[in-house]
Structures are given as structure tokens and as C-alpha cells.
Structure 1
């Protein structure tokens, strides 16, 4: 007989939300969601389970997916990809703010600053991050290369943020990303 997982031993649940009209209709291969999954597979050393979602660029459907992942699925971290640009259908940041309890503007500021070193159009991206209950929600761009760049920038702070909101302890491979936690 095996013991049921306790909150301290259960794998962390991480929501991965791809926002794309074409991918949700099967017209386009989702590359963003798999890129996020691959990133966490390389960086996290603590056990975790992916909880993927693929939704169209629809504000209400994005918000509903975020609420479900945070409130029903118990994801401590939810990462979205896509829908962060200035186009009329790009509504991921608005949907994220719709479900937010606390905005976390530093995440978006840092991601844009890092992206600006690579491409001048990074100022068009509207990445954001918020807290909902015990979930940290981070919006990322849709390009796999940009996903890794942005996550590399903010990941050192993510485990401590999840600690502070009462989530499970996320451990990272220090050779890949050194997570910051204050010394006690």
C-alpha cells in the first residue's frame, strides 16, 4: 500500500495555456505550450505535473481557463503563451487582469527589458503577471525562443513568489537557473 501524496510531497501543478485561434481550431501546430513544458522539464528538479489548455483568443474563454486552473485544478503557477501583442484579438493580458487579485508588474517590466536586448519590437509586447489565490499567473509571448528568454529572466524569482503565496516548494537546477530565496 502506498501513501497518498500530501501537499508537501504531491507534485506541483503547473498550468500551461496556449492562446491561439488557429491552434485551437487545429489549423496551426501549438509550439508555445510544448516550449513551456520543455523549459520546465529542463529547469525544475522538484516533481511537477503539467495541466495544459489550448484556448482561442477570446477574453472570456481565457479568463475561464485561468480560473479553472487556479481554483479547481490547484495550479501554483500558470503560464500563458500568445495573445500579448497589440492586435485586436490579442486579449490575454486583459483576461489575466480580469481574474487577478494582485498585479505583479515587475514580471512584465523585466521580460520586456530582456526582450528589448534582442528585438526592438519587444515594446509591443504586453506581458504581465498576477496573483490569484495561491496561483502566480505569467503571460509570455508566443514565440518559443522568446518564451525561454522571458522565463530565464523571471524564473529566479518564481519559486520564492510561489512560496510567499502558499504554494508548493519549487526547486530549480542551480546550473540552469538559480532560484533566489532569502537566507534565514
Structure 2
């Protein structure tokens, strides 16, 4: 079972939060607020926050820009993971990924099933890695953002979490770029 190792130091992670929406602004971005609040409360840093329209090329461009930014370790997007014609966040993420973290969608579905039952089937939450940066595409509801953070991300982005976590492998995410 997972646990916190009190012998390890806490290491803050620098997050960027991107809301994907044709209608939201920062003033009424409840899901972005949830993520920003939880990042701060956990002791991490909010390095960037923005909103882009549901346009695949705009989403991918922002993800690539943030992946190239040495001041950002992980990107959380919210919105655009559903099944409608305007929902293109997952496709934009996959345009950017070097590797997909396939189990994230499965674990998120398990967590969601406990909260919303079979409606969890409508989410296409996903995650991956690009340029040494973690990327997570979360649904646009505040509840889904809470569930993803509270049940998965808060643990995986805590260096003290055992048996393993995302933070401890940061230095190795882009090792393929350093191989000769």
C-alpha cells in the first residue's frame, strides 16, 4: 500500500494549468481554480496559467511552449476530454506526447467510478511525457479535477510517496536525449 516516507524531504513541483474552453475566462474558471488551489495547498508552485479555445493546434502549441519552458515541470489541462465534436484536448495532447502514461486513464476511471458510476465511461482523461515534462488531460468539471488531484496526482507528485512517485524519476524523463 502507498505511504509517505517521513525520512524524505518534500520537493515542490512547478505546475502549469491550462483550461480548454470556448466560453470560460479566468474570472469564471472553476476547474482551473480548483487545480491552482490544490497545487498551492500542497506546497507546489503555480508557474503558469492560461485559457485556450477548443482548437487542437492552439492546445498543442501551448503544450509545446510550456514543455520547452525550464520553469515548468508538469502541465495539467482541464476541459475538452469528452466525446463531442469540439472535444479535441486528448488529440492535442497525443500530438505532443513522446510517451503516454496509459495507466493514468485507467486509474482515473476507477476513481471516477466510485463517484459517478458508469458515467465515468465518457471521460477520455489521459497523460504523457514530452521534453521531460509531465502532461495530464483532465475533464472540465471541478469534481473531476478534485478527484484527479486528491486521489492520484497529489500522491504521485509527492517525492515522499512510496513505493514510487513521478518526482523521483524527473531526472530520467529525458535521458534518451542525452544518450550518444
TM-score, normalisation: structure 2: 0.78
1:177 alignment counterpart: none
Q: In structure 2, how many angstroms separate the alpha carbons of the residues matched to 1:11 and 1:163?
A: 12
Dislocated runs of 4+, deviation >4 Å? none
Q: In structure 2, how many angstroms separate the alpha carbons of the residues matched to 1:154 and 1:125?
A: 16
1:152 alignment counterpart: 150
Q: In structure 2, how many angstroms separate the alpha carbons of the residues matched to 1:149 and 1:72?
A: 27
For 1:15, what is the secondary structure of its paired residue? Answer: strand
1:35 aligned onto 2:34: yes
1:91 aligned onto 2:92: no
- In the TM superposition, residue 153 of structure 1 has moved relative to its aligned partner by 2.1
Unaligned stretches of 5+ residues in structure 1: 1-9, 168-184
Give the direction of change, closer, same or farther, for the CA distance of 1:58–1:132 in structure 2 (3 Å limit): same
Root mean square deviation, CA, Å? 2.1
Equivalent of 1:105 in 92, 97, 102: 102
For 1:139, what is the secondary structure of its paired residue? Answer: strand
CA contact (8 A) 1:31 1:144 kept: yes
1:16 alignment counterpart: 17
Give the direction of change, closer, same or farther, for the CA distance of 1:150–1:164 in structure 2 (3 Å limit): same
- In the TM superposition, residue 162 of structure 1 has moved relative to its aligned partner by 3.2
- In the TM superposition, residue 145 of structure 1 has moved relative to its aligned partner by 1.5
- In the TM superposition, residue 12 of structure 1 has moved relative to its aligned partner by 3.9
Higher helix share: 2
CA contact (8 A) 1:77 1:162 kept: no
Q: In structure 2, how many angstroms separate the alpha carbons of the residues matched to 1:12 and 1:39?
A: 12
2:52 alignment counterpart: 55
Q: In structure 1, how many angstroms separate the alpha carbons of the residues matched to 2:28 and 2:19?
A: 11
Deviates more, 1:155-164 or 1:106-115: 155-164
For 1:122-137, list aligned pairs within 5 A. Answer: 122-137=120-135
Equivalent of 1:68 in 51, 65, 68: 65
1:166 aligned onto 2:136: no
Q: In structure 2, how many angstroms separate the alpha carbons of the residues matched to 1:21 and 1:148?
A: 22
